[in-house]
Copies of this chain bind each other. A is one copy, B any other.
Amino acid sequence: MGLLTKPIKTLDDLFVHQLQDIYYAEQQITKALPKMITKVADPELKQALENHLAETRKQIKRVEQVFQMHGEEVRATSCPAIDGIIEEANDVMGDASDPEVLDAAAIAAAQAVEHYEIARYGTLIAWARQLGRPDCANALEPTLQEEKAADLKLTEIAEAHVNRAAAVTGGSRR
């Protein structure tokens, strides 16, 4: 039965499982972000990650609210996907010796996290609507919009200065 604690028989079971999965993922993200914030050098990037950490804490509250609205116990299930994404982020950032190159790696890592969340919240919202729970869908919609905005902000910071600084400092070829 793999990682799951109960079999998935209905779309509702799948919805609850996905909610437990994102609940775990968000918690891992709140643990990973402070370390990332300490490591990055670019002030705008540092600020964007700090803002996103504050948003993530609000997003956890929203997931808890949806568990309650749905009459389900608030609980997390393991999520190998986010564990893998964070492990990869730590590895690449740990190996980047130049601060500007590390910033570029941090943006790439954060965008992989954002895209994971965009996929998961998009699915959760679609399933909630299908299950006749527009209230649960509406409670999660602001999170999806925040994830998309965070991803765009990171692209903006990368293209405005971080990628250029990384290319200049480290040189474009070894």
Contacts and interface: CB of A to CB of B under 8 A. Distances in A.
A44 interface: no
Contacts of A158: 126
B80 A170 contact: no
Interface in A1-24: 1-4, 7-14, 17-18, 21
Interface in A86-124: 87-88, 90-92, 94-98, 101, 104-105, 107-108, 111-112, 114-116, 118-120, 122-123
Contact of A10 (B80, B111, B119, B174): B174
A83 interface: yes
Nearest to A171: B10
A40 B132 CA distance: 24
Interface of A: 1-4, 7-14, 17-18, 21, 79-85, 87-88, 90-92, 94-98, 101, 104-105, 107-108, 111-112, 114-116, 118-120, 122-123, 126-127, 130-132, 151, 155, 158-159, 163-164, 166-167, 170-174
Given A2-B92, A3-B88, A83-B84, 18 more contacts: A3-B91, A4-B92, A8-B92, A8-B97, A8-B105, A10-B172, A11-B101, A13-B101, A14-B166, A79-B84, A80-B85, A84-B84, A108-B120, A108-B123, A111-B123, A115-B116, A119-B151, A126-B158
Contacts of A91: 2-4, 80
A9 B112 contact: no
Main secondary structure of the interface of A (DSSP, over half): helix
Contacts of A94: 1-2
A35 to B, nearest CB: 14
